[in-house]
Amino acid sequence: MRMGSKALFLLFLILLSPVAFASPAQILQIEISRDRGFDYFDISTCGETKAKGMLLDNQLQVIFKDAALSPDIKISKGRSRRIKAIRLEQTSSEARVIIDFTQPIDYDIVNVFGRGKSIIEIFDRFDQAEQIMAAWEKANLATRRQLLKPYKLSPDPAGKDQSLAGKIFVLDPGHGGLDPGAIARDGSWEKNLTLAVAQKTALLLQGAGATVYLTRNDDRTKHLQDIVDYANGSKCDIFISIHYNFTSQSEIGGTETYYYNPQSRPLALILHESLLAGIERKDRGLRRAMYYAVHHTTMPAVLLEPVYLSNDKELKLAGSPDFQYQLAKSIVKGVKTYFRGQSNK
């Protein structure tokens, strides 16, 4: 019997398509329920796939790599004041469950191994970041100015990696001098930890051919307005402010990335993803907030809060040179991805 051309074409497609061929994972059913103030999404799957979350402001994307939505997927809907809308999205390699919320949330994901189930637990977000930041900014802007003393790293012309040649960065190690930033339980100061990471990041950027300005290279008090004026006058391509988070609840931990202006969002999103993949902390969300430095700067600008100094485990990480280096590498990897995307436009 001769194979019809349609069948041949289908066979060809199956052989070519890595998704259809290598991983038949499917998303079968989504059950939404509510218990003791939590919302639960029980997502049933078959085949090898694991849910990964990404919180983008008040939207949670639950991503299943190498998976497809079943054509007769069932969504059983429970009522919740938090959930605004749910939609499903399929790309060539992944299935996404996209949930919009009416309010800021926090979440945990448990992939029940061997049972074909991912459970997403949604709860109210405990967040003091904005109050803490607002109080600090107010205090900083009210202080008497000390002269800003930026430090320049020129690109190494002999360096092999020139992937960031011609790019200019302003890196801002949060706090400094009379302003220690957060003071952790073990006596560590945020200002020292931010400087350590900024210096490591600067060296890596310099090694990739970039020009880097640090808003400080030692223990020095800075004024937010001076940082913003300097960044805006520097003609830099990217501004990154490095901070560490702090809250009164010590069990809270994870990575948060902040931006304000719309032109900063693509960079913020890529850096957030890169940090999550590189330092492997809980996703605490990409967030838009009117923080002074990202609000008043004119280039793509982000403020990183990679981990919490109020969380013992993360405090330990923040003090470790290995972790600082991993964090610096993740930042640099992110900006390289960002510029690759820009040059393809």
Name the residues that contact Zn ion, by CB under 5 A: 174, 181, 243
Kindly tell me which of 108 and 218 has the beta carbon lying closer to Zn ion: 218
Contact 267, 300 (CB under 8 A): yes
CA 103 – CA 100 distance, rounded (Å): 9
CA 325 – CA 240 distance, rounded (Å): 16
φ, ψ for residue 162 (rounded to 5)? -115, 25
CA 143 – CA 92 distance, rounded (Å): 53
Give the shortest CB-305-to-Zn ion separation in angstroms. Answer: 8
Kindly tell me which of 194 and 264 has the beta carbon lying closer to Zn ion: 194
- Sheet with strand 83-90: strands edge to edge: 83-90, 94-101, 59-65, 51-56, 283-288, 255-259, 301-305, 238-242, 168-173, 211-214, 151-153
Residues contacting 227, CB < 8 A, separation 6+: 148, 172, 215, 241, 293
Kindly tell me which of 96 and 243 has the beta carbon lying closer to Zn ion: 243
Give the shortest CB-28-to-Zn ion separation in angstroms. Answer: 44
Kindly tell me which of 155 and 181 has the beta carbon lying closer to Zn ion: 181
Give the shortest CB-254-to-Zn ion separation in angstroms. Answer: 16
CA 288 – CA 271 distance, rounded (Å): 14
Give the shortest CB-244-to-Zn ion separation in angstroms. Answer: 6
Residue nearest to Zn ion (CB): 243
Kindly tell me which of 174 and 254 has the beta carbon lying closer to Zn ion: 174
Give the shortest CB-220-to-Zn ion separation in angstroms. Answer: 15
The total of other beta-carbon atoms located within 10 Å of residue 116's CB is: 18
Give the shortest CB-132-to-Zn ion separation in angstroms. Answer: 8
Residues in the chain: 345
Kindly tell me which of 193 and 286 has the beta carbon lying closer to Zn ion: 193
CA 215 – CA 218 distance, rounded (Å): 9
Give the shortest CB-324-to-Zn ion separation in angstroms. Answer: 16
Torsion of CA 289, 292, 293, 299, to 10 degrees: 70
Give the shortest CB-145-to-Zn ion separation in angstroms. Answer: 19
Kindly tell me which of 199 and 211 has the beta carbon lying closer to Zn ion: 199
Contact 13, 20 (CB under 8 A): yes
Kindly tell me which of 174 and 176 has the beta carbon lying closer to Zn ion: 174
- Sheet with strand 105-112: strands edge to edge: 67-76, 25-35, 38-46, 117-124, 105-112
